[in-house]
Amino acid sequence: MSVSSEQYRELLEQRVFRPEAFTHALQNRKRRPVAGDDGKLLLVASDHTARGKISLQSNPVAMADRHTLLDHLVRVLSRPDVDGVLGSADVLEELAWLGALEGKVAVGTMNRGGIVGATWELDDRVTSYDVEHIESMGLDGGKTLIRIDYSDPAVAQTLETVASITTELADRKLLSMIEPLPYQKDASGRATLDPSDDALITVVAIASGLGASSAYTWLKIPASERMAEAAGATTLPILMLGGDPTNGVDRIFSLWEKGMREPNVRGLLAGRTLLYPPDGALDATAERAAKIVRPTP
């Protein structure tokens, strides 16, 4: 299954002449329980464009073309072993209009204001879905990002916001997917990911305590060599993210396989690794990920 040029042109026409078709498709899609029968999930992440993350390796606009993005998403989501998608409103509405979200989990991204490379990058404000529209659009939950840098005062506001969102989603019995990441500033003041395992374990503990209820909270974190300790810092279900696949995916898959041994690691929520594999082999990469989440006997 793919998105033809004719379908894409029709989508562009519908954007002009029938804009309500997109929200109608999203609100009326066939839904399913989030965790399913086995409590495992393989979700594809496609919320990177809303934060200006469209580069791969040396190409600053490698993931910018929307037709290509939608085609890759539809192809991956057409697999029965892929459970659903995380995305911003534009992406989820287009996927719903294309019929790609029937019987799939749909999670809306929320705080996308920390634009990549901006001086305010760690000010992760809510610029996509809010809680009210997560519910009214018929989504299964909302995803938030917390990048914890001890030198940036904007992080305190983000913590407060995510705690409030988590409480409101729990009140509605909707999934709160929190992505806590340790961050630091380099010599130029640019925000960068802190690769320390100790830092990851700490932010997992912090994120687990956010909100007035953790009943519907899941975490999205990087796979780690010390996954037993990272997962052991919480009882919350965990999905592992991928990262930039331009240097190959073997190490990512190796860490995923190791991470799935932990009882509260329930699957993957990966974007670029599944959507833009270096060799272009979408089907083979998705199948490989699916076998890690649900190994065949």
Query: For residue 93, what pLDDT is reported?
Result: 98
> What six digits make up the tokens of 47?
């919320």
Residue 246 pLDDT: 65
Instruction: Give the whole-angstrom CA distance, residue 22 versus residue 29.
Output: 11
Instruction: Please tell me the predicted confidence (pLDDT) of residue 278.
Output: 86
Low-confidence ranges of the chain (pLDDT < 50): none
Determine the pLDDT at residue 32. 96
- Give pLDDT, residue 247: 67
Are 45 and 239 contacting, i.e. CB atoms less than 8 angstroms apart?
no
Q: What is the DSSP string of 85-119?
A: EEE-HHHHHHHHHTTTTTT-EEEEE----S-TT-T
Instruction: Give the chain's radius of gyration (CA, Å).
Output: 18
User: What is residue 83's predicted lDDT score, i.e. its pLDDT?
Assistant: 98
Q: What is the pLDDT, as a whole number, of residue 292?
A: 97
The pLDDT value given to residue 81: 95
pTM tops 0.75 = yes
Contact residues for 49 (Cβ-Cβ < 8 A; gap 6+): 63, 64, 69, 88, 91
Q: Is the dihedral of CA 98, 100, 101, 105 positive or negative?
A: negative
State the DSSP H helix or E strand holding residue 142, giving kind and residue range, or none if neither.
Answer: strand 141-148
Task: Give the tens place of pLDDT for each residue, 158-201.
Answer: 999 999 999 999 999 999 999 999 999 888 888 899 999 999 99
- Residue 213: other Cβ atoms inside 10 A: 13
Question: What are the chain's domains?
Answer: 5-293 (3.20.20.70)
Residue 242: predicted pLDDT: 85
Contact 258, 249 (CB under 8 A): no
Closest CA to 110 of 64, 168, 193, 47: 47
